[in-house]
Amino acid sequence: MPSEAQPTRASVAGAVRSFYEQLPFNYHESVESSGEAVRANPVAATYPDLHAELSSGRVKHVLELGCGAGWLTNTLASHYGVHVTAVDFTARALARAREIATRLGVAARTRFVESDLFEFADDTRFELVVSIGVLHHTGDTPGGVRHAASFVAPGGGLYLGLYHAPGRRVFLDALQGLAAREGEEAAFALYRTLDRVHQGDPTLLRSWFRDQVLHPHETQHTLREVVAWFEGAGLKLASTSINRFAALPPQAELLALEQTYAERSRRALEVERRYFPGFFTAFGRRAR
Ligand SMILES: C[S@@+](CC[C@H](N)C(=O)[O-])C[C@H]1O[C@@H](n2cnc3c(N)ncnc32)[C@H](O)[C@@H]1O
Q: Which atom of ligand 1 is nearest to the CA of 90?
A: 25
Ligand 1 centroid to residue 66 C-alpha, Å: 4
Measured CA to CA, the distance from residue 227 to residue 233 in angstroms comes to 10
Q: What is the mean pLDDT of the segment spanning 89-109?
A: 98
* pLDDT for residue 3 is more than 80: no
Atom of ligand 1 at shortest range from CA of 115: 21
CA–CA dist 62, 189 (Å, integer): 38
The domain limits of the chain are: 9-165+217-263+277-286
2, pLDDT greater than 80: no
Per-residue confidence (pLDDT) for residue 5, from 0 to 100: 73
pLDDT band at residue 199 under the 50/70/90 scheme: confident
Q: Kindly report, residue by residue over 110-123, the tens digit of the pLDDT.
A: 999 999 999 999 99
Position 1 confidence tier, pLDDT thresholds 50, 70, 90? very low
Distance, in Å, from the CA atom of 268 to the CA atom of 273, rounded to the nearest integer, reads: 6
Give the mean model confidence (pLDDT) for residues 265-285: 92
What spacing in Å lies between the alpha carbon of 214 and ligand 1's midpoint? 15
Residue with the smallest CA separation from ligand 1 atom 8 is 132
135 CA distance to ligand 1 centroid (A)? 8
| pLDDT at 244 exceeding the cut of 80 | yes
Give the alpha-carbon dihedral of 130, 261, 232, 284, to 10 degrees. 40
pLDDT band, residue 208 (cuts 50/70/90): very high
What is the CB < 6 Å shell around ligand 1? 13, 16, 20, 24-26, 66-68, 71-72, 88-90, 93, 116-118, 132-134, 137-138, 211
> Which tens digit of pLDDT belongs to each residue from 23-79?
999 999 999 999 999 999 999 989 999 999 999 999 999 999 999 999 999 999 999
At residue 4, the pLDDT reads: 60
- The whole-number average pLDDT for the span 76-89 is 98
In CATH terms, the superfamily for domain 9-165+217-263+277-286 is Vaccinia Virus protein VP39 (3.40.50.150)
